[in-house]
Chain A
């Protein structure tokens, strides 16, 4: 059946390296681009996790990932005297399939050609003489030189974040790099690095004006979602009488304007305590445990009081500002419900407001257990199993010393998320995987693969127990029951 799709400026057929670069360039030029790919969607954490990627039978021998010749192939002959025959099984080259195309089997390595490679014929003759090439040799120069292509190499490497150590910068040989490579205009980019966008302050009038500009949408709200007895209005009257404290925010005298702005945002608009402050059996926040963290909807909302062990006591104001603005610090990343908070809310706030939030939070009393318990012995069975599990499942990215990769893979050593009273968040991300949030300031969202297919409940519990009690960490052991409740049903 023919379907008529909406008109668009450009259609890119095949979203491998070439197609995606062209799509990016044209999108930047303001064109509407649609890319068509015949294979599946693919992503690093789901399709090439460290757990399955080393499977040689599947990928190298049976050629999973690649275009299947049954789907489409081509014919091949070495010379005009042969009959061209279909390639039935890929041999010398491997066309890719799905999003990423042949880019999925570059093994993450890209190398520039040597200047000589572009002028193979003329350079060979000039150095070794015409006699060095047989009369029927068909080798040709490419018609483009390294120098002409250098700017494109440079642009590609910086676009894709190719890491490495330059060996030749503008003709100067660099220690530690390849001294034989062609001259580079500048060093490798090292990592896909973030940039910062300016967030302009919008006053409430502008927000209101903007909201008024959106066409109204009819949406029937499901009103009967409160459980008994809260669905009875008169009960809420009683709850309000006991727990609800009405009143507009009043600045605290003697505190700075910034502190009061932070208090207004944290306790009012931001309603941070709605999740971060534990509730009593009637669902009211317990002021005596403000920001101490609690289990909620299959996550453990972390302690964000000034507690240095599990809270933000050891964070600097700048760390908090950066986290709320970009969803990441050098050692940790927002995920789960907090990722949505950052993506839709705090990443859009002004630096002044974020700073005010940080100043206020830092000034709140420390809640929860103040000091770490003694770590569990590395010699007990669950810690031994956990160490083996960590080495085989986690260390490739989070590193054997739990330090992670700065700005990319969260550190586990000394990370407060790892040390929280409850391990729900940890168990959930191990079982189901998680995608860190992406913001405009930090657009590359690394994914944590799902390990639920590979590890049983006890193994998940033990690897978490290990991570909570290695490298100076210390926190209570995790039990298999905690993991069981987080399995997908």
Chain B
């Protein structure tokens, strides 16, 4: 039986581990014991409201308006614009998502099949910049100089619906792929942890009853068919963590 037991010591005693980061000169050699150091943690960088870092003020207003129509406010929850989806997307676009830094972006580029996944050479940052410009030009030309935020709710819905269907007719603009990216990012902003700038006051999680950054549900699983009554918690906590005045 003993031969089957984990024996990390034995492994480490005769194993050295070289973790290679990019260049051999940066290799870290590990032997003898597993490394651990105090205060080591890798939380995400916390987004704080402030100046826009990617969007212009006009672009931010347009994204806020679109998010507010994609997830409208009602009696049950604030809308996507109110919940900070534009701030979320702004910060995502200045990170590795915006310039596709983690993705394979070398040629050759070809259309490919749906099964071959995204093949576009254009990054989200470029798609937002050019797409929002095309939408603004279209709105000014077709709605008497008004841009998206100044349209009526019905006009906004009609334009978004046409983009979703690929029938908006906006010049120099692939409306359907842009709409799909926008909708995905707005939902990410509405439901991702508030640390990323959206989901303000955990509004998205409260709307759907999602518990947030909880790890263990055994107590809950022991009580099936009950409505989950717990309040959500984010990576940076919830109001109950601080003493009541």
Question: Which residues of A are interface residues toward B (Cβ below 8 A)?
Answer: 1, 3, 8, 15, 20, 23-24, 27-28, 30-41, 43, 45-47, 49-58, 61-63, 68-70, 73, 76-78, 82-83, 85-89, 91, 98-99, 155, 158-161, 192-193, 195, 381-382, 384-385, 388-389, 392, 395-397, 400, 431-435, 438, 440, 443-445, 447, 449-450, 452-455, 458-459, 462, 488
From B23, which residue of chain A is reached at the shortest CB distance? Answer: A1
**B235 CB-CB contact with A under 8 Å:** yes
Contact B9 A438 (CB under 8 A): yes
5 residue pairs of the A-B complex, CB under 8 angstroms, read A160-B6, A381-B245, A438-B9, A443-B7, A459-B241
Contact A447 B214 (CB under 8 A): no
**B34 CB-CB contact with A under 8 Å:** yes
Given contacts A85-B110, A381-B244, contact A57 B17 (CB under 8 A): no
Quick one: which of B41, B117, B193, B219 contacts A433, CB cutoff 8 A?
A: B41
Task: Tell me the dominant secondary structure on chain A's binding face.
Answer: loop
**B18 CB-CB contact with A under 8 Å:** yes
Q: How far is the CA of A57 from the CA of B193 in the complex (A)?
A: 8
Contact B214 A454 (CB under 8 A): no
Contact A488 B18 (CB under 8 A): no
Q: Which residues of chain A are within 8 angstroms of B212 by Cβ–Cβ distance?
A: 54
Given contacts A1-B24, A85-B116, A99-B19, contact A52 B42 (CB under 8 A): yes
Q: C-beta contact mask, B22-55 vs A, less than 8 Å → 1, else 0?
A: 0011001010011110111111100000000000
Contact A396 B215 (CB under 8 A): yes
Q: What is the distance, in angstroms, from B136's C-beta to the closest C-beta of chain A?
A: 28
Contact B215 A450 (CB under 8 A): no
Q: What is the distance, in angstroms, from B193's C-beta to the closest C-beta of chain A?
A: 6
Contact A57 B196 (CB under 8 A): yes
From B234, which residue of chain A is reached at the shortest CB distance? Answer: A392
Instruction: Indicate the size class of the contact surface on chain B.
Output: 35 or more
**B242 CB-CB contact with A under 8 Å:** yes
Could you list 12 further interchain pairs (A-B, Cβ under 8 angstroms) beyond the known A88-B100, A392-B213?
A23-B11, A40-B21, A49-B41, A61-B188, A78-B113, A88-B104, A88-B119, A89-B104, A392-B238, A443-B6, A450-B40, A488-B38
Contact A450 B233 (CB under 8 A): no
Quick one: which of B106, B116, B214, B238 contacts A76, CB cutoff 8 A?
A: B116
Contact A392 B241 (CB under 8 A): yes
Quick one: which of B7, B10, B103, B240 contacts A385, CB cutoff 8 A?
A: B240
From A463, which residue of chain B is reached at the shortest CB distance? Answer: B241
Query: Which residues B172-223 have CB closer than 8 A to chain A?
Result: 188, 192-193, 196, 212-216, 219
Q: How far is the CA of A28 from the CA of B233 in the complex (A)?
A: 46
Residue among B36, B216, B235 facing the most chain A CB atoms (10 A cut-off): B36
Given contacts A3-B24, A33-B15, contact A89 B40 (CB under 8 A): no
Contact B14 A31 (CB under 8 A): yes
Contact B242 A159 (CB under 8 A): no
Contact A432 B39 (CB under 8 A): yes
Residue among B15, B33, B192 facing the most chain A CB atoms (10 A cut-off): B15
10 A-B pairs closest in CB distance: A396-B216, A388-B240, A432-B38, A69-B104, A50-B215, A57-B192, A396-B215, A381-B243, A27-B14, A435-B36
Given contacts A57-B193, A68-B102, A388-B241, contact A35 B18 (CB under 8 A): yes
Q: How far is the CA of A39 from the CA of B19 in the complex (A)?
A: 6
Q: What is the distance, in angstroms, from B146's C-beta to the closest C-beta of chain A?
A: 34
Q: How far is the CA of A87 from the CA of B102 in the complex (A)?
A: 12
Given contacts A454-B235, A458-B242, contact A445 B34 (CB under 8 A): yes
